[in-house]
């Protein structure tokens, strides 16, 4: 086809379903599902970009019966109703289409297919070349001169006359008759019962049409008695099927073909829609190019310019700063430049090092040190911990109050997916920032900031500090308005100093021990591999799900458990379920466990040792989890396994970095259950903690109706799962899966729990109801988690939100307590000038590196500060141990 007068017409419903199922569940912070909307927009943009159509239109189905239902009541009766999450998105999708200025066609009583057929007929008559965008094979009947079908489901596969014949064995005008014979299960078009696609193709190839097939059956020309009987018996059904499959090309709609010319989108409308939907990436394309962060950005040139800058900085109450560097690891990268801003629309850039006009790094930091370490000047930054670490490596400590815009954004809405500067500048200031890719490119052509022209680096870096400075006042006002200032200024900002010191200190790793462990594991894997091959009776690629499925379900004929898009699943749940039926799945589970531990930790950790410090430096993240807990990355130290003996052995590799020093661990005992007792005021639960009882044994005695002394280990284990399951809002189904028992039995346990702990039930139900009314829940320090999904019409989405409403105040309060404890301990270590260092935080546990002379003092200090952090209605208990490594101290 040529590009002249080229019309693309889209089956809107086909697009929507495709988008909905292709993209994982997404929603904005208000709980509005958005995956189908996002996918729909992506496909529209792809067609416009790749195909460059001159004309474009979209047709949608409307609810309600069509003329086909009058002919056949059961038409499409088997088709499941549109999922609630997709139905919620349909009106917005149509708003988006209108924002693109794409004409929409829909008419009650007719399907989108009929409308597309009608537009096609008139367009071809008017000299247009038409591409019908759909995944529906019915539409192939329209293919002909000037018409093709563009199947977006298959990466833009084009069906012309030859492609139709190659795929279905018939010309486009034979598609309807083919469907009349084989039927179409998706639309409940019956066809001829007992005839599938292969037979239908053979009949059409031999006889050419439905009428000729019927005549051949009635005349006895078809030799197969069974096939002949089916055609004769279901003749009327086949003729009805042809009526149902034939599109109506004369739908009574008004069509102005020239009015379908592709128009420029309504950028303002799309900007408003994408803002509401929180499509940050798309917003960048539709915000006004003129609405950028901009100002007077000056390059500091020479010593006189630097003198003036430092003098100006010294006289400020606060300023924002931002570094440009050669990489993302502040412990290893080199600074390229630094910008400062203390008034909106004005900033200064100081180049550093080998770039044009760059100042000597050591001399520059020596000059800036007094102002950066001035306790009377507040410093503002976006992820300012990065700046603090980079400067710490270079002998400078940022002192004085700090304001981190990234953390502020997180405190205001912890459910947001990210809080990067580009996104929050757009969200809170309605201004765009230059993307970093405009400077350094992407992929193989990517360069470092050191190679960027100094003027471009100046503008980019100054834009960052300018945006950060502007954001500070907006975010600070919102924190005050939502009663979150105390949490931000008294917990999250002081925590930054503690986290900076922890990351800077790093952790010592016994690489020799891990090397031996790796070799032992390799030997173990070899033995298990031999056992696997022997048990399976054949060698195969153990890491190939396809080959493994072939062994399990074809060769060994084990019962399939669940399917994936690519075949039978062989995941952990499946292998566990099959372990009772055959020894091979258990061997595979052991193989996977060892292989994962070896690759993820044993082999990986030595590679992460910093060559300058000889230690591993993780990054603690304040802005990731929705509950307020810290997370750890590069590497994730909070995920070091503890449930298996082999996993626990990895902790032996975490050692003190100095000879004779110890690792000291301090772990809150059942802190979340104690918080539950505090919040709920449940007498039975309070009594258990006040009496110093084993709360799991106590719960077991209550739900099993026995004395505590008669509680068995199995009873206690069940009660422990129930205790913690309640905190996570676990349903009977979830508990049954966890305990591997019947759902009815799991429900009995939960009912028994709430019968004995009645006030806990009232409290948890109150959390859910409060979330429904307010849209959020709070922790002991008033940390908010917004849960808009709690009003969702979708049952599974709503239940997930209810579980979050129960868990967030409890888990979030535990996070609040340990953060305050960390700040207090860190401050005392500094005040007393102790040599001990806090090196890790893992959920409810703190890990320290301690010299021998400070072990006893640190045990008392840490225990006291953790237990006295906040006064609860129950005693808070902390277990403190010391040892030569993390395993010994655990």
pLDDT score recorded for residue 474: 97
For 586-635, the pLDDT digits (tens) are 999 999 999 999 999 999 999 999 999 999 999 999 998 888 999 999 89
pLDDT band at 447 (very low <50, low <70, confident <90, very high): confident
pLDDT score recorded for residue 75: 46
CB atoms within 10 A of CB 888: 15
Contact status, residue 883 vs residue 847, Cβ threshold 8 Å: no
Q: What is the mean pLDDT of residues 683-691?
A: 91
Q: What are the DSSP E strand ranges found in 344-418?
A: 346-351, 378-381, 402-404
342 and 475 together in one domain: yes
Closest to 30 (Cα-Cα) out of 810, 812, 797: 797
- DSSP labels, 779-820: -TT--EEE-GGGG-SSHHHHHHHHHHHHHHHHHHHHHHHHHH
Q: Is residue 793 part of a domain?
A: no
DSSP SS3 for 79 = coil
478 and 526 together in one domain: no
Q: What is the mean pLDDT of residues 707-724?
A: 91
pLDDT band at 441 (very low <50, low <70, confident <90, very high): confident
For 49-101, the pLDDT digits (tens) are 888 899 999 998 877 565 554 554 544 444 566 777 788 888 899 999 999 99
Contact status, residue 58 vs residue 10, Cβ threshold 8 Å: yes
531 and 474 together in one domain: no
Pairing of strands 147-151, 129-133: parallel
Q: Is residue 207 part of a domain?
A: no
Q: Is residue 709 part of a domain?
A: yes
Q: How far apart are CA 844 and CA 811, in angstroms?
A: 10
User: Does position 299 have pLDDT exceeding 50, yes or no?
Assistant: yes
Largest CA distance in the chain: 105
Closest to 121 (Cα-Cα) out of 146, 156, 102, 100: 146
404 and 532 together in one domain: no
Q: Is residue 568 part of a domain?
A: yes
CATH of the domain at 581: 1.20.1060.10
For 531-553, the pLDDT digits (tens) are 999 999 999 999 988 899 889 88
pLDDT band at 426 (very low <50, low <70, confident <90, very high): confident
CATH of the domain at 160: 3.40.50.1010
pLDDT score recorded for residue 78: 45
Q: Is residue 227 part of a domain?
A: no
CA 235-182-61 angle, to 5 degrees, is 105
Between 371-385, 705-719, 838-852, the lowest mean confidence (pLDDT) is in 705-719
551 and 450 together in one domain: no
Q: How far apart are CA 756 and CA 701, in angstroms?
A: 10
User: Does position 189 have pLDDT exceeding 80, yes or no?
Assistant: no
Which domain does 573 fall in, by range?
518-614
Q: How many alpha carbons lie under 13 Å from residue 547 in its C-beta half-sphere?
A: 10
User: Does position 1 have pLDDT exceeding 50, yes or no?
Assistant: no
440 and 522 together in one domain: no
Q: Considering the chain, what is the average pLDDT of its residues?
A: 89
Q: What is the mean pLDDT of residues 235-262?
A: 85
Closest to 468 (Cα-Cα) out of 368, 337, 379, 365: 379
Q: In Å, how far are 57, 94, 134, 220, 742 from 60, measured between CA atoms?
A: 10, 9, 12, 45, 45
Pairing of strands 346-351, 296-299: parallel
Q: How far apart are CA 759 and CA 765, in angstroms?
A: 10
Q: Is residue 419 part of a domain?
A: yes
Q: Which of 614, 632, 659 is the last residue of a domain?
A: 614
Q: Which of 755, 782, 800 is the last residue of a domain?
A: 755
DSSP SS3 for 89 = coil
CB atoms within 10 A of CB 223: 8
Q: How far apart are CA 536 and CA 586, in angstroms?
A: 12
311 and 374 together in one domain: yes
Find all residues with CB under 8 Å of 856, minimum gap 6, and list them: none
601 and 706 together in one domain: no
pLDDT band at 290 (very low <50, low <70, confident <90, very high): low
pLDDT score recorded for residue 391: 97
Closest to 141 (Cα-Cα) out of 231, 210, 235, 227: 210
For 449-500, the pLDDT digits (tens) are 888 999 999 999 999 999 999 999 999 999 999 999 999 999 999 999 999 9
What ranges in 88-136 are assigned the alpha helix state H?
A: 90-99, 112-125
323 and 256 together in one domain: no
Q: What is the mean pLDDT of residues 771-788?
A: 92
Find all residues with CB under 8 Å of 674, minimum gap 6, and list them: 689, 872, 874, 875, 876, 877
pLDDT score recorded for residue 721: 92
User: Does position 875 have pLDDT exceeding 70, yes or no?
Assistant: yes
CATH of the domain at 374: 3.30.420.10
pLDDT band at 565 (very low <50, low <70, confident <90, very high): low
475 and 552 together in one domain: no
Q: Is residue 542 part of a domain?
A: yes
Residue % of the chain over a pLDDT of 70? 95
Q: Which of 552, 587, 614 is the last residue of a domain?
A: 614
27 and 65 together in one domain: yes
Domain count, the chain: 4
Most confident range, picked from 117-121, 427-431, 612-616, 796-800: 612-616
Q: Is residue 305 part of a domain?
A: yes
pLDDT score recorded for residue 291: 83
pTM, 2 dp: 0.78
For 717-741, the pLDDT digits (tens) are 999 999 998 888 888 888 888 888 8
Most confident range, picked from 66-70, 370-374, 437-441, 646-650: 370-374
Between 149-153, 194-198, 260-264, 384-388, the lowest mean confidence (pLDDT) is in 149-153
722 and 598 together in one domain: no
Backbone angles phi, psi at 9, to 5 degrees: -120, 130
Contact status, residue 182 vs residue 197, Cβ threshold 8 Å: yes
Q: How far apart are CA 132 and CA 158, in angstroms?
A: 10
Contact status, residue 554 vs residue 560, Cβ threshold 8 Å: no
Instruction: Determine if the peptide bond prior to 635 is cis (ω within 30°).
Output: yes
């Amino acid at each position: 086809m040529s590009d002249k007068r080229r019309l693309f017409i889209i089956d809107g419903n086909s697009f929507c379903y495709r988008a909905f199922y292709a993209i994982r569940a997404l929603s904005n912070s208000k709980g509005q599902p958005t995956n189908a909307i996002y996918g729909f927009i992506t496909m529209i943009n792809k067609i416009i970009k790749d195909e460059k159509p001159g004309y474009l239109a979209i047709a949608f189905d409307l609810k309600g019966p069509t003329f086909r239902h009058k002919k056949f009541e059961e038409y499409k009766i088997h088709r499941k109703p549109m999922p609630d999450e997709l139905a919620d998105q349909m009106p917005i999708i149509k708003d988006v289409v209108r924002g693109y200025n794409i004409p929409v066609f829909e008419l009650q009583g007719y399907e989108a297919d009929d409308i597309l057929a009608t537009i096609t007929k008139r367009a071809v008559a008017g000299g247009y070349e038409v591409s019908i965008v759909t995944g529906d094979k019915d539409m192939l009947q329209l293919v002909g001169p000037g018409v093709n079908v563009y199947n977006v489901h298959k990466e833009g596969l084009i069906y012309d006359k030859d492609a139709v014949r190659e795929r279905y064995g018939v010309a486009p005008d034979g598609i309807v008759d083919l469907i009349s014979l084989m039927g179409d299960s998706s639309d409940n078009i019956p066809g001829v019962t007992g005839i599938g696609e292969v037979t239908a193709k053979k009949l059409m190839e031999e006889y050419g049409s439905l009428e000729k097939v019927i005549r051949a059956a009635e005349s006895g020309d078809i030799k197969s008695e069974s096939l002949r009987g089916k055609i004769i018996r279901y003749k009327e059904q086949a003729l009805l099927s042809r009526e149902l499959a034939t599109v109506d090309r004369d739908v009574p709609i008004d069509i102005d073909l020239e009015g379908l010319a592709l128009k420029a989108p309504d950028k303002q409308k799309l900007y408003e829609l994408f803002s509401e939907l929180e499509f940050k990436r798309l917003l960048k394309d539709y915000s006004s190019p003129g609405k950028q962060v901009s100002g007077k950005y000056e390059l500091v040139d020479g010593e006189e310019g630097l003198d003036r800058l430092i003098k100006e900085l010294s006289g400020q109450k606060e300023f924002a700063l931002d570094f440009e560097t050669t990489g993302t690891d502040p412990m290893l990268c080199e600074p390229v430049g630094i910008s400062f801003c203390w008034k909106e629309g004005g900033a200064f850039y100081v180049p550093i090092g080998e770039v044009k006009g760059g100042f000597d790094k050591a001399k520059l930091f020596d000059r800036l040190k007094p102002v950066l370490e001035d306790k009377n000047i507040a410093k503002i930054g976006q992820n300012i911990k990065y700046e603090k670490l980079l400067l710490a490596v270079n002998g400078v400590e940022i002192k004085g109050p700090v304001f981190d815009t990234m953390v502020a954004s997180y405190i205001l809405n912890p459910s947001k997916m990210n809080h990067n500067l580009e996104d929050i500048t757009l969200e809170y200031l309605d201004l765009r920032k230059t993307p970093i890719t405009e400077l350094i490119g992407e992929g193989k052509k990517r360069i470092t900031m050191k190679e960027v022209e100094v003027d471009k680096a100046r503008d980019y870096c100054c834009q960052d500090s300018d945006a950060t400075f502007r954001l500070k006042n907006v975010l600070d006002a919102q924190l005050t308005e939502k009663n979150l200032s105390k949490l931000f200024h008294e917990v999250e900002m002081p925590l930054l100093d503690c986290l900076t010191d922890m990351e800077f200190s790093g952790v010592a790793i016994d690489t020799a021990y891990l090397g031996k462990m790796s070799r032992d594991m390799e030997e173990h894997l070899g033995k298990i591999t031999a056992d696997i091959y022997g048990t399976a009776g054949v060698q195969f690629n153990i890491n190939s799900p396809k080959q493994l499925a072939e062994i399990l379900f074809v060769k060994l004929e084990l019962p399939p458990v669940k399917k994936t898009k690519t075949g039978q699943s062989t995941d952990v749940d499946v292998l566990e379920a099959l372990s009772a039926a055959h020894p091979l799945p258990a061997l595979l589970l052991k193989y996977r466990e060892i292989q994962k531990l070896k690759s993820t930790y044993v082999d990986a950790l030595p590679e992460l040792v910093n060559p300058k410090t000889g230690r591993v430096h993780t990054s603690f993240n304040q802005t990731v989890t929705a509950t307020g807990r810290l997370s750890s990355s590069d590497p994730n130290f909070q995920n070091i396994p503890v449930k298996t003996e082999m996993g626990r052995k990895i902790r032996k590799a975490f050692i003190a970095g100095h000879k004779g020093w110890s690792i000291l661990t301090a772990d809150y005992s059942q802190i979340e259950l104690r918080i539950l007792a505090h919040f709920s005021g449940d007498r039975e639960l309070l009594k258990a903690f006040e009496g110093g009882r084993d709360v799991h044994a106590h719960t077991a005695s209550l739900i099993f109706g026995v004395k505590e002394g008669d509680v068995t280990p199995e009873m206690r284990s069940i009660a422990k799962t129930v205790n913690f399951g309640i905190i996570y809002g676990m349903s009977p189904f979830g508990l049954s899966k966890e305990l591997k028992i019947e759902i009815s039995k799991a429900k009995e346990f939960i009912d028994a729990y709430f019968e004995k702990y009645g006030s806990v039930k009232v409290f948890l139900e109150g959390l859910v109801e409060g979330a429904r009314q307010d849209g959020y829940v709070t922790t002991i320090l008033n940390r908010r988690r917004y849960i808009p999904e709690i009003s969702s019409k979708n049952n599974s989405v709503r239940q997930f939100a209810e579980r979050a409403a129960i868990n967030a105040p409890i888990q979030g309060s535990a996070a609040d307590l340990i953060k305050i404890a960390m700040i207090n301990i860190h401050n005392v270590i500094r005040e007393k000038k102790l040599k001990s260092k806090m090196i890790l935080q893992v959920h409810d546990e703190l890990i320290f590196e301690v010299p021998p002379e400070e072990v006893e003092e640190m045990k008392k200090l840490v225990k006291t500060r953790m237990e006295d952090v906040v006064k609860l209605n129950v005693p808070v208990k902390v277990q403190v141990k010391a040892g030569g490594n993390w395993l010994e101290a655990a």
